[in-house]
Structure 1
Amino acid sequence: MKLLFLACLSPKTGNYTTAERIRSHIESAGHSCELRDVADFHSPSDLAHLVSQNPPFEGALAIHLFKAGRLLLDLRLPFGVIFGGTDINEDVKDEQKRVVMEQVLRKARFAVAFTEKLKEEAEFVLVSPDSKIYVQPQGIQTEVAEQFCWTEFLRSSEWHSKNLHNILIIIGPKVDPALTAEVETVVKRATGVFLAQERSQQELHAAMKRCYAVVNSSVSEGMSAAILEAMDLRVPVLARNIPGNAAVVKHGVTGLLFSSPQEFVHQSQRLLSDQELRERVVRSGKLYVEEHHSVKQERETYQRLVDKLHKAQFLA
């Protein structure tokens, strides 16, 4: 089966990594899967020529109901969709976007939510048959680069020589120009905070391994692969207490949650001073990922769902 896969593909982002992993699952079952960036298309008509090329696409998959799924509405292809955190955390607040998302969900042959809570929220705010939404957590598999050095981040820090641990390094691509400018302005005024460009996944995992903890301060999250990767690498996690994070971080067991800057400092100090706590969250986090975020299970789920699309093309 020749499948079109639409997703937000800013390089070296969580969306890109997730899409590439799912694409590999589909192709390992013998299908052809072409991954395309939603930024390349503005309307369903923009996709029409691509979809009808020879040989034509026989089905489609999209991550994010609004950002990507809306582009499939007018196409005569069986398709499935995968919920992104933005769908339920942000886009449903906009009535026009919510209506489009309901249309996408009604037409989709299936939908995938990363957590049971995300499925429940989707069923509550969007009109959809319950049996259409499946729950499949992200599969996690980490790989650490053999060589990695922090020198470029630390060379200008005077206080670093006094206390090696008090460093916050923010690594990631500049996706949102306005937010990037705001962060850069704040960091210039902050002591001990450094910005670093995005790295390959292997280099990022190597950076995590050299950290005392990984912090997720997001105010809107579906399922953070960075949190799960840190757990898999046996690195403690400090995460903002929002639904997407709390779904995978059990406070004091698999990581630590905070709701304010003051609480972040308090939980960080606990982690530094309590070796037993640190060992517990590291051990429990690793076990949690092994039990609930199997790449093998994820592969089997998506291969089974794509089979639904394969069968649907003969019924259309």
Structure 2
Amino acid sequence: MKLRIGVGLGPRDPADPATFGQLVDHMERIGVDSLWLPDLIGGDLPDPLVGIGYAAGRTERLKLGSGVTVLPGRNPVAVAKELATLAALAPRRILPVFGVQHATARERPLFPIPGPRGEVMDEALTLVRLLLADEDVTFEGKYYACEGVTVRPRPTRPLDLWLGGSGPKSLRRVGRLADGWLGAALTPDEAGLGRRAIEAAAAEAGRGIDDDHYGMSLVVAFDGVTGRDFGALRRQRPDVDIADLVPSGWAATRALIRRYADAGLSKFVVRPAAPPRSWTAFLDEFAAELLPLEK
């Protein structure tokens, strides 16, 4: 499998249109595979789908992903329309990844949902998939319904819809309903087990997921893992040494990516733990240190 490594931006990275546009232009120029934007209301970055649209208009090659967009609490018909529009404007370059809930607890009440979060997620994702693939969609679910709806413009090819998450229910959902998986906060051994759980769920549902549709989001530290608190990650994974999840420096990042690759993963989103002093310098180092792994 060919490895593909993209760059993720964080909640406190540049939001100024001029600076954001310069980052996008530089990624396109130096051959970065993909750019990923988080879904955070209180973050400095643009909304991921709006930011993707802005970046798509400035580039011709750079792939653009949402990492991740929370689906429950959003209108699935509107989401399908937004994705179809983006896919028509930037064919083969839009990489939507959906999640079940926002990372920060204070933002979850901003997106009220009509039922249990997992049930709402399953139904919304099913409807989005139907709207992106079929015409005259009639759907009657527990939480959503539509009659004879056709979303246009039609994508030139079906969009691959990926999911995040790492719990047993999330992994089964990937196998049942999604086209790929972008995990986070897992060791390589755990990621390998996650892939096998997804494959088992997909086989049980009578479907398959492409071998190269398994990935991992990585936070990279450049001042050492002991130099930062990583409080949220420590609370999420108190059972694991942070150094096993957060590589320190480029050499450790390369080594960890190779371990994930050995476990069956081939897509990666790399984000610095703190905004770099110079994003241009960071991107140039990223290209020199990590892009050779793609060859």
Normalising by the smaller structure, the TM-score range is 0.3 to 0.5
Point out the structure with max Rg over C-alpha: 1
Greater helix percent: which structure?
A: 1
Task: Please give the TM-score of this superposition, normalised by the length of structure 1.
Answer: 0.34
Task: Please give the TM-score of this superposition, normalised by the length of structure 2.
Answer: 0.36
